[in-house]
Structures are given as structure tokens and as C-alpha cells.
Amino acid sequence: VPYGMQAHRPVVNKHVAVTQERAEKFVSRLYWQDVNLHGQLYDTVKHNVGSPYLQLEVYQPPEGARVPYSYIAEHAKWKTVEKDASYGPSWATYWFKAQITVPKEWEGKEVHFLWDSGCEAAIWENGVMQQGLTGGDGVDRRAEYILTRTAGKEEQFNFLIEMACNGMFGLGSGGMIMSPDPSRYFTIKLASIAVFNRDAWDLMWDFVIVSDMGKYMSDETPRGAQAMWAANQMVNTCYPRDHATYPAAREIAAKFLSSKNGESVHRISAVGHCHIDTAWLWPYAETRRKCGRSFATALRYMDMPEYSDYKFVASQAVQHEWVKQDYPLLFARMQEMSAKGRFLPVGGTWVEMDCNIPSGESFVRQFLLGQRFFKKEYGEYSNVFWLPDTFGYSAQLPQIVKAAGIRFFLTQKLSWNLYNKFPHSTFIWEGIDGSQVLAHFPPADTYNAQCSVEEMVKSLKNFKDKDRTNVSLLLFGHGDGGGGPQMEMLERLKRFKDVDGMPRVEFESPYDFFVKAEKDKGNLLTWIGELYFELHNGTYTSQARSKAGNRYGEVLLHDLEFLYSLVASIKNDWSVYPYEAILSLWKLLLLNQFHDVIPGSSIGLVYEDAERYYAYIKNEGERLRETALSLLAEHQPASSDSGEKESETSRATSIIAVNTIDCARSEVVELPISPAQAVQVGYNHHPLGVVTTPPLGYQVESVSSQSAPASGDAVTAYEAEEPSTGKSGKHYILENKFVKAVFGVTGHLYSLWDKQAQREVIDITAQTPANNFIKLDDVPFFWDAWDTFIYSYQKTHQLYHNAAVQVLEKGPLRAMLLVTVSLDSQGKNNIVQRISLNALSPRLDFDTEVEWHENRRFLKVEFPLNIRASRATYEIQFGHATRPTHSNTSWDMAQFEVCGHKWADLYEYDYGVALLNDCKYGYSCQDNVLRLSLLRSPKEPDPQCDMGHHRFLYALYPHQGTLQQAGVIQQGMRLNAPLLVRPSHHQQQQQQHGPVFSVSHESVVIDTVKKAEDSNDIIVRLYEAFGGRRTVMFKTSLPIKSTTICDGLEHPLPGNHPSSNNASYDATHGVALAFTPFHILTLKLQF
């Protein structure tokens, strides 16, 4: 019987599992490569380093630094690679120079260079990065680099390899999300040239598709059974070492795959994707190289004729900017392929930001900077908001997305929900103002699809809206650490174009997909409000310093833009406005809002970078702010000796108090100069006084005008017995005309009596008092820095090992207690609080310092309130949202920890209590107990997360009426944006300037004042804060001529837009602006 032939092939019994296993081994990368098809991809003859055909030299830059190609070209001193050499340590960089001569017997053949150093690498030719390489044994391994499809006789190749001593997912010590091993070394496991067998490659992917259809389609369906039969026949027909048998095996596959689908089949739009975390398990600097490697690979595959319809998306404008800076020739190729509709910028934002923590204005700036970059560099704006991997989505996003010129939204993260399965795949998402965007969650439940049959089947089965639309999107390519699509994925997709039993697949841009889906918009269901993610809610608290830096930076940049807009307008000189300097600070702030940085889920190296950026924002921002305040002061008449070093505070007799927020203020402040006789000197030796300012304006007054309040208006602190608390012994009391606060010897708040409402604020029947610190056991399932679970409340740890209270200030302007608490018996974890009440407000402030050295513990402070409410209200971006205080359903229970910004409010009819803060984002409210999350102590991926010293401020604000009527929104603004009080040399006893900008009703808030991006006009951003409808009059004291309502990109709205109202400005009455609930309006003021 001739080789490869049998006289008789018996028909074997049916055994599906055995046949499937046989098929898997036929193409396995791990088993039987000496006899299976995978082992035939390369000829057995290979030439390794040291042979006459492959020479390799190495150079390490000083200290293993990441250096550009130009540095290597000029400074590299090459050395011969030593056998079995190791390269490291972690994060180091090495460069290799490869010199290749193709053996003459390989003439006319396809030749590949193969490289595996167990880490990331990139090929450079002629000064241009060509392709990334990924070492190791994972599915993301990319070891091949095609030198030539048809080798010339003894053809030569010379190129460089840049090797990064880190894996695709960093250098976790013992696991992916573990903290990095700082001493990892790598060896070159593979460096050779070989002849590639493209016939074996093509047959292998035919076989994989057929056999996987047999595996993942039910064998109860004819098509699934036929697939397994065909795969088995291919194994029987093909003898891997005999390439002459390949055509017959391919004929079997071709016949099976030629059966087409019907017209009603589900359609999948596939697009290559490379989700690159801007920082995560690696620092920002390594991400810059990941972008180069990933984008270069995508472009290289686009140049291959067999992938002529391949399309690839890339989000995050900052990553494009990095490539432009670091790899300008590569960026030019990106622009070229973008113009051809194949390399597709998407997203519209500066980074793929966290969507819980950034402010509303930060959201607007993410789109403003992102969209402007894409328009400038690629000629068009992004048309899809692309955010596949973030930890929940604010209910205000639809409006901000639409204002950026985008009407489509893509994510998939809610497929990770712990408790409840999200009910839609394609749906209408409606924000708190009523704005709507078309949203899609790819039913494969991944943004890193491998293009397998299994994923195609899942996409069909898991698609939740089959009755309403018949299209979905597939995002394929390795992500998180970059890499992107492999040729294997593209081969699979080529075979899925129209195969009976599978969805019909085509390469298509996300925009084209959404346009098709939009045709069925009338059939789709609507989800109203936030997209709450039922996991990773520990990220509202982890890495407290970064969150404090974010809040401070947002407020500081807000103040800078207002101050310089004011100064430039007054002086009629826009050259004083430091546009580029402020823009650079915004870019750093927005960068740190990436969805693995500000949430607290990155390695320690990332937070070293982040805190350095926050420090720069603070230092440079404060310098710019002082310059602006000086310029503002220069505009005022000065005393007669003003020409002689007016900046010396010793000569100043007046103060200038600048109010950068949209509410009038009368507050107790620390004065920068001492009056002849101070009303009160604080514990820190600063004199105290009262200043009154208009909204968005300033006041100049003499310090000699300060006077003590009347006795009935003063605040006091004293010690006394207080039987009403039910606690015997000494109590410490802070009291003014609004409230009486009673504290125990541990700093607990036992009673807060509202004198005006004549009611108790604290639930004095509760098991624990208010201002009670609790330390929870905080051990999640896996995602340490990310997750906290409701069971943590079942296991708490003892606090208050030692505590002491003393009166620090007795009034009459401010009264203060000093509380010290030891949180453990060793004294390693301590709290120091300065609890204060001033004469002008019922607000009780808790200035808190914590020394924190814990292991997987969660620190919260709780307030049991004398309020009954089924829902609590939390500030979010440009508005507020309510969440349940109960666990009636699994959807309610899942929100045991939620995100809020400057305040949370618990309210019953005609009375409520707000909990304010200056840098925290995590809240929980169960029944009547309102808690603020303070610090965590996860150990992975950063063992130092939240360790050390912290300072923050929270406050309790009882109020009559609704939160809107009581000014809770304004209280949050005041707490976070203190008055800017500086010495002044003005002659006036008192002079008020402002409001420079105003609206006729407090329900509309002027949030932002800034210079326009492309002109010397002023942009004013306002929003309706109460949740109602209102037409207000907007006025300014500046000499403007007209106003134009714009979108978030500062483009005038079209005349037929409902909000369009472009008109001449009436200096007497202003301009009328109509608002619907939580509406954001951007107004351009033209001089």
C-alpha cells in the first residue's frame, strides 16, 4: 500500500470528546510538535546567534535608561552577545544589533526572524520602529518578524532590537497584580532565522476554524456535527510531514466553509483594538514605549496584502501625542493610514478616564483636549466615546459626551457585575438632564477578543437584544498591556466572513457599526441614570493622596482661570493670561485621571509619578495664582508709599479677599496681617477676622474695621456635665446661636442640637455615637486595591485605645477642640482632630490628621442621624444623584458603597443633614447611618497604598428645608475653595468689586470662567444645580458686546438648536438663559 494510503478505512464509533481531543493535539503548540501541523510552520533547519548567518551585538545605555533611537545611533558601543547572558534588572533597557545573511539555499523562500527574550521588545529599521515583540509562553506571544516573503540570494538585513526588561503585564512578584519584583532578569530564549511554511499556516487556520466549530457549536445541531466530522476527515487526510497532502485537506475545509448564511444571520463588525492602560502595572514612561510597539505592529499588518481590509482603533489622545513626540516617523504613518480609514482614532478624550472621581469640568476638559488633538492631527473629531474598561459611569456623562459632538458610547465593563447581570447589549443611555446617547456593550464581554469560534458563539448567544437589532461589535487584540491583534486573529476573521452556522463578520469601523445600529434606535430600550459598576468600589478610596491631589488641582486650576480671565479683561491685555502654562497643568491633571491611576489600582512607581505631577501642579499653580492676585491688586488705588516695596506685609493695613466661586460669602478667616487689636488669635497664632465678599468678585477692607461679635452672636467652647447625652462625667461643648454640639472624652459627638429648628440632629438611640471611627476587615476575593465587600461590616476592629480632648480655642469668632485618638495598642495608628465651630454658621468642621500603618483595614467615620429616608443624595458632576439606603433588592444591596463628590445629604421632609469633605469620594449610607470612607490599606499592587500621614477636612451641616433651599451645594463649594485673603496697600476702608459674573437665581451655578481656546473671548460654563427648570438673567460687569451659546468644544450651537440664543448683550439687563434640570450651558462672551 503506497505511503499515506490505506486499503480500507473502518468507520469508527461516535465519540465526540475523543475526536475533539484528537483535533486539539493536531495543532497544539504544546504537545506533539514533532508530528503535528503546528510543528511544520517552520523548517527544521534554523540558524541561531553565532552562526555565519546571524550575528548579534548588545549595548546597555547608562543605568539601563529608556533612551531614544537617536541616542543609540550616536552613542552605542556594541559588544558581542555572550552565551547564556542575562539582562536586567527590572525596567532596564538593552539594545541589540542584528546582522543577518540569508543562506543561499533559502533563495525565493519566506524567511522570518524569531525572537523571545521573555519580555517586551521592538524591531527598529532605518530609524523607524517596525514592530513589537512579546516574549513568554502566553497567548499574547509575538515572536516572529517577517524579513522577506521572497528571499534574494544571500540577501542581508540589518536592524536593531530594543529590549524592555518587563513583561506585557509588568513584573508582578508571584502573580499579575502583585507588586513588581525589582530584581527580575531575562535571558534570550530564542534568536534565530527560519524558513516559514505558509502552506502549513493556511491549512492550520482552516482546520482551527472547522474543528472549533465542531467543539463550540452544539453537536445536537447538524452544523456542529458536520464540523467535527470534517475536522476529523482533515486529520485523516493530512500527514503533516508530507506537504503534498495539504491541498486535499484544505479542499475538505473549503467545501465545509463554503456553505453560506442566510440573510437573517447576526452580523458582527470586527475592529482591531489595543487597550493600553496609560499606567497600571508599569509606569507612564513604559507606556510611551508600549504605544510605539503596539501601533507599529498594527501598521505593519495593514501593509500585508492578505489583510487589506484590516481596521484598527486607538483611543486616548495623550498616547497619540506621546507617539508624535517619541516616534515622529511612526506617527506620520498613523496619520497616513488614518486618512485611508484604517487607523482609526476613537474616544475623543485625553485619556480613558475614571468616570466616578473627576469633576464635571474635568470631564469637559478630557473631551476638549482630546477632540482638539484629534481634529488637529487627523483632520476630524472622534465620533465614538470609547471607554471599555472603567469602574462605573456617571449619570452626567451623556450630556457631556453629546456636547463634545459625540452620540455613540462603547464599554463592556459592566459584564463584570458581581450581583446583577446588566439587561442590555445595545440600548439608549439617558443622563440626568435627559440627554441620550446610543450605547453598546459588545456581547463577547471582552475588549481583548481572540476571534475564536467560542467568542463568536458567545457573541450570538449573549447578545441581549436579538429581538430589537441584529448587529454587534467585536473588539479584538491583546490589551491592557498593549500588543494588539496578532496575525492568528486576522486569519480567523478572514474565514468568518460568511460561514453557515456562524455570525457574518466584516471589518468595520465603530462609527459605521453604530450607524447601522442606530437604524433600529426606535426599537431599543432606555437606561436612565448612572451605570453603576457592582465591583471595584474600593477605588473610591484607595490611594488617598492622589485623590486629594486631584481635588486640590481641580480647584486650583478653576481659580487660576477665573483670576487670569478677570485680570486680562480688566487690563484689556490677554498677554498676561498664561494659557500654555495652565494648559500644561491641565494635561498633567487629566493624565492622572486615567482609570487605573486616580482609582488607586496601580503599582507604587505610578504613584511616585502621580504625586510628583500633583506637586508640580500645586507649586506651579500656586505661583501663578500669587502672580494673578498681585496683578489684580495692582489694578486698585494704592497708598501714598506704594512705590516702596508694597509687597511687604508689615506695611499693609488692608486685606484683599477674593471669592472665586458663585456664592456670596461672609466667613471667619485667618488674616494675613495683624490688626492693632485682634478680635481673636487662633491656636496657630494667626489673627482671625470676618470678611464678606460678593460672588465671583473681591473685597478690599482695612483690618482695623474688624470688631468682636455681640455676645449673642459669638461662639464658645467649654467643659460641662451634660446629662441629656445619657453619659456621665465631663463633656466638651461647642456652641453658637445656631447649634450646640456635645462631645465626649473620646471625641465622639453625642448630641448636636439645632437651636433654630429645635430638634436633635444625631440619633442618640443608636448603638454608636456620631463622629465614630470604624476600622473594617477589608479582605476582598482577588482585586485587592480595587474591591471592598459588604461582608466587611461584619468584622470590625477595636479603636479608641487611648483618647484625649482639650479646648483649643474659646471664641468669640471660632471655637475649637483638640482630639487625639490612638487606633491601636501600639500607637502606630493615630488620629488628631481639630473640631471647630465658628460664629457665623451651623457647620461643624473636623480638620483631621491620621497616621496610618495597617494591613487590609478600611477606616471610615460614621454619623447616625436623626433622619428617616429611603434614599440619600450625593453630589456628582454638575448635579446630584440619589441612591438607596436599604437593601430591598439585589440592585439596591449592590450599592452599599457609592461615589460622591463634595457632599452627601440625608433628608426627610423639611430637614436634612449634609456630610461635606475636601478630598474624599467614597460614601455609604445604610438606614440612617451616613459614613464617609477615609483610608484603605490594600497590599497589591502597591504595598504602600495609603500608608503614612494624611490630612483632610470633613464637616457636618444640619439644615432646615431641602438641600437646595439650605445651600448645601454652596456649602460644598465653600469648603473646597477657601477665600483667597492677601495683604493689600489700598487706601479704601472698604471697597467691593463684583460680582463680575452673576445669574439671577441660585439654582444656576456659574462653575467655570476661562479664556476661549481660539480667541480672546471668555468662556463661562453654567449648570442648573437644583434639578428644575429656570430662565435666568446672566450679567457681567465686563464690557462685552455679545454672547454666544456654544457646545463643549466651544463651537457656536447651530441656530436650530433648542439652546441656541446668540444675541447682542444688554449691559443693563444681561442676557436671558433657559435651563432644564441639570442642564450644562457653555457661554462665550465676546468683547
Strands (DSSP E) found in 636-708: 654-659, 665-670, 680-681, 687-693, 697-702
Bridge pairing between strands 1030-1036 and 997-999: antiparallel
Q: Are 794 and 770 in contact (CB under 8 A)?
A: no
CA distances from 715 to 83, 617, 739, 843, 954 (A): 79, 37, 10, 12, 20
DSSP letter string, 768-823: S-BSEEEEEE---SS-TTT---GGGGGSEE---SEEEEEEEEE-SSEEEEEEEEES
Which three three-digit cell numbers place residue 854? 495597617
- 3-state SS, residue 919: coil
Structural contact between residues 966 and 912, judged by C-beta atoms closer than 8 angstroms: yes
Question: Rounded to an integer, what distance in angstroms lies between the CA atom of residue 930 and that of residue 907?
Answer: 11
CA 1079 to chain CA mean position, Å = 24
Mapped onto helix, strand or coil, the DSSP state of residue 731 is strand
Cβ(230)–Cβ(250) below 8 Å: no
Q: What is the DSSP string of 47-69?
A: EETTSTTEEEEEE--GGG----H
Known catalytic membership, residue 927: no
CA distance 177 to 70: 34
Contact 922, 931 (CB under 8 A): no
Whole-angstrom distance, CA of residue 131 vs CA of residue 295: 8
Round to whole Å and give the CA distance between 90 and 170: 9
Q: What is the rounded radius of gyration, in angstroms, for the C-alpha atoms of the chain?
A: 33
- The three three-digit cell numbers of residue 78, written as one number: 556594541
Best CA proximity match to 771, nearest among 844, 664, 708? 844
Decide if 352 contacts 386 (C-beta within 8 A): yes
- In 10 A of CB 1076, how many CB atoms? 14
Residue pair 899/874 in contact by the 8 Å Cβ criterion:
yes
The full DSSP string for 160-175 is: EEEEESSBTTBTBSSS
Helix axes 579-591, 317-326, angle to 10 degrees: 110
> φ, ψ for residue 540 (rounded to 5)?
-70, -15
CA-to-CA distance for 924 and 401, rounded, in angstroms?
28
Cα distance between residue 619 and residue 632, in whole Å? 20
Query: Smallest Cα–Cα separation from 534: which of 440, 423, 416?
Result: 416
From 389, 512, 520, 824, active-site residue: 389
- CA 899 to CA 897: how far, in whole Å? 7
Beta bridge partners of 436: 430
Per DSSP, the chain holds a count of helices (H) and strands (E) of 19, 57
- 429 vs 399: CA distance, rounded Å: 10
| Single-letter residue type at 726 | G
CA distance 46 to 53: 10
Q: Which residues contact 468 (CB under 8 A, 6 or more apart)?
A: 426, 520, 523, 524, 525
Q: Give first-to-last CA distance, the chain, whole Å.
A: 96
Q: Where are the beta strands (DSSP E) in 149-244?
A: 156-164, 186-187, 190-196
| Half-sphere exposure of residue 638: CA atoms within 13 angstroms, side-chain side | 19
Question: Known catalytic residues?
Answer: 389
